[in-house]
Copies of this chain bind each other. A is one copy, B any other.
Amino acid sequence: MVGNVIVGQSGGPTSVINSSLAGVFKTAKDRGAKKIYGMRHGIKGLLDRQYVDLSDKINSDIDIDLLKRTPSSYLGSCRFKLPEISADRETYDKIFDILNELEIKYFFYIGGNDSMDTIKKLSDYSILIGSDIKFMGVPKTIDNDLAVTDHTPGYGSAAKFIAATMKEIIRDGLVYDYPTITIVEIMGRNAGWLTAAAALAKGEDCEGVDLIYLPEKVFDIDHFMQRVKEKSSTGKSMVIAVSEGVKVADGRYVFELSDHVEVVDAFGHKQLAGTARFLANKVAAEIGVKARAIEFATLQRCAAHMTSRTDITEAFNVGGAAVKAAFEDESGKVVVLKRISDDPYMCITETHDVHKIANIEKKVPLEWITDDDFITEDLIHYIRPLIQAELSPIMVDGLPRHLNIDLTKSL
C-alpha cells in the first residue's frame, strides 16, 4: 500500500479527459494505492468537501472502458483560480486540512494552463509548510495551447471531429448548382490550433476548405470580402473555416462588430451574433450569394463518438505517467508529451516543472500561416498523426454508452 490518492478535473471538458481519469485510477490501483478519491468540481468542490471514493464507482474493466469513452468531465469541473499564497493562506490551510483528514499522499489535477496554476500553487505551498503530499498536473485541453508539451490530450479528438465533420459539410455544400458560401466557426479565442484542423478535410475524396482564418493574424474584413467575391464570382461554392477569436486591426473581436445594435428584438434584448453568423450576413447582404453559418459549438469538445485512438491512448498514458512519477516522489510537475519521431509518429511522456507551464499560452507560429489565408503543409503534418485510428463507441440500443454513476451523493 502506497497511501491515498485524490484526483480532480478542471476547466473546459474534452472528449478524452475521462481517459486521463481512467489512466490515473487504473495505474494508482494497479500500483497499490489504498484509496482513490475523486474531487467533485475540482478544487472548488474539494473546498466544500465534495468528493467520492472512486473505487466504489469504477468496479470492472468494462467500467474503465466506458469511462474512456465518456465525454465531458466525469467528476464535474470548475473554473476557479486559487488566490495568491501571500494573500490568503487560509484557503490553503483548509485544503491541506482536508487532504490530511483523507490521508492523501498524491494529488492529481487534470486540466489546461489555468488548472496547472493550481498545481503550481499547491506544490509551492506544500514546500512552504513541509508537507510530503505530491502534486502532479495532467494536461488536457482541446485548445492545444499548453506550453512545452508537443500537444495536449483532447486536441487530437477535437481535430478529428472537426476534420471529419468538415468533409461532410463540404459534400453538403456542393449539392446545388449555384454557389453557396458556408462559414464554419470553430473554437479558440486566442489560439488557432483547432481551426487549423479544418485543413485536414482535404484529400483524394474531398477538395477541402477554401479559406482558413486563425486568431493569430489580424482579420482584415475587406480582404476577406474580396477573397469571397473573387472565388464566388466563378460560380464555385465555398466552405470557410474561421476561428471564433479572429480580431480586426483595432483589437475588437469580429463578433463584437455586431454589437452596434442599438435597439434589438421585440423584448428589448441585445441580439449578439457569432463570428460566422456575422460574416455570413455580411456576405449575403453585400455579395448577394447564399451564405450560411455553422457553429460547432460544444460539439467539438464533447463528440466522444468520434475520437482519435491516438488521443485516447495518450490521454490515458499521461494520467498513468503522472501516477508513476508521483509514486516515485516527483512533485510540482506536469506530464508532457514529447514527439520523438514524425515518421513513423512516436510520442513519449516526460515530466516538466509546472512553473514553466502554468499560465502560458502556446499559439500557432506565424510561419505556419500562409499569406493566402490558409495554413502550411508543416502544420498539417504536425496535426495529422494526432487524429489517427479509432476507438469505437460501445453501442447499446443504437447509441453510444457512457459510464453512469450517481455522483450526486458525495462521501
A residues near B (Cβ < 8 Å) are 13, 40-41, 44-45, 70-73, 76-79, 160, 163-165, 167-169, 171-172, 174-177, 182, 200-201, 203-206, 257-273, 277-278, 281-282, 285-286, 292, 294-295, 297-299, 301-306, 308, 384, 387-390, 392, 395-404
- A-B contact sample (9 more), CB < 8 A, given A267-B286, A295-B295: A13-B175, A71-B172, A77-B176, A164-B305, A167-B399, A257-B265, A261-B265, A294-B297, A384-B397
Can you list 23 A-B contacts with CB-CB less than 8 angstroms, sorted by A residue number? A13-B171, A13-B172, A13-B175, A41-B177, A44-B177, A71-B172, A76-B174, A77-B176, A78-B177, A164-B399, A164-B400, A171-B302, A203-B396, A205-B404, A261-B264, A262-B263, A267-B286, A270-B281, A273-B273, A294-B297, A294-B298, A306-B306, A389-B398
B260–A171 CB distance below 8 A: no
Chain B min CB distance to A199 (Å): 12
Q: How many copies does the complex hold?
A: 2
Interchain CA distance A11-B373 in the complex, whole Å: 33
Collect the chain B residues with CB atoms within 8 Å of residue A163's CB: 398-399
Chain B min CB distance to A168 (Å): 4
Chain B min CB distance to A285 (Å): 5
Interchain CA distance A305-B306 in the complex, whole Å: 8
Question: Taking CB as reference atom, which chain B residue is nearest A15?
Answer: B168
Interchain CA distance A175-B78 in the complex, whole Å: 8
Interchain CA distance A411-B65 in the complex, whole Å: 52
Chain B min CB distance to A134 (Å): 27
Q: A168-B304, A404-B205 are in contact. Are A399 and B200 (CB under 8 A)?
A: yes
Which of A41, A176, A395 has most chain B Cβ within 10 Å? Answer: A176
Complex A-B, nearest 3 residue pairs according to Cβ-Cβ distance, in ascending order? A205-B404, A72-B171, A387-B398
B404–A301 CB distance below 8 A: no
Chain B min CB distance to A165 (Å): 6
A71–B171 CB distance below 8 A: yes
A281–B285 CB distance below 8 A: no
Chain B min CB distance to A338 (Å): 21
A402–B262 CB distance below 8 A: no
Interchain CA distance A374-B148 in the complex, whole Å: 49
A398–B388 CB distance below 8 A: yes
Chain B min CB distance to A91 (Å): 17
Q: A76-B177, A282-B267, A388-B397 are in contact. Are A168 and B260 (CB under 8 A)?
A: no
B404–A206 CB distance below 8 A: yes
Collect the chain B residues with CB atoms within 8 Å of residue A397's CB: 203, 384, 388
Collect the chain B residues with CB atoms within 8 Å of residue A388's CB: 397-398
Q: A265-B278, A266-B257 are in contact. Are A168 and B297 (CB under 8 A)?
A: no
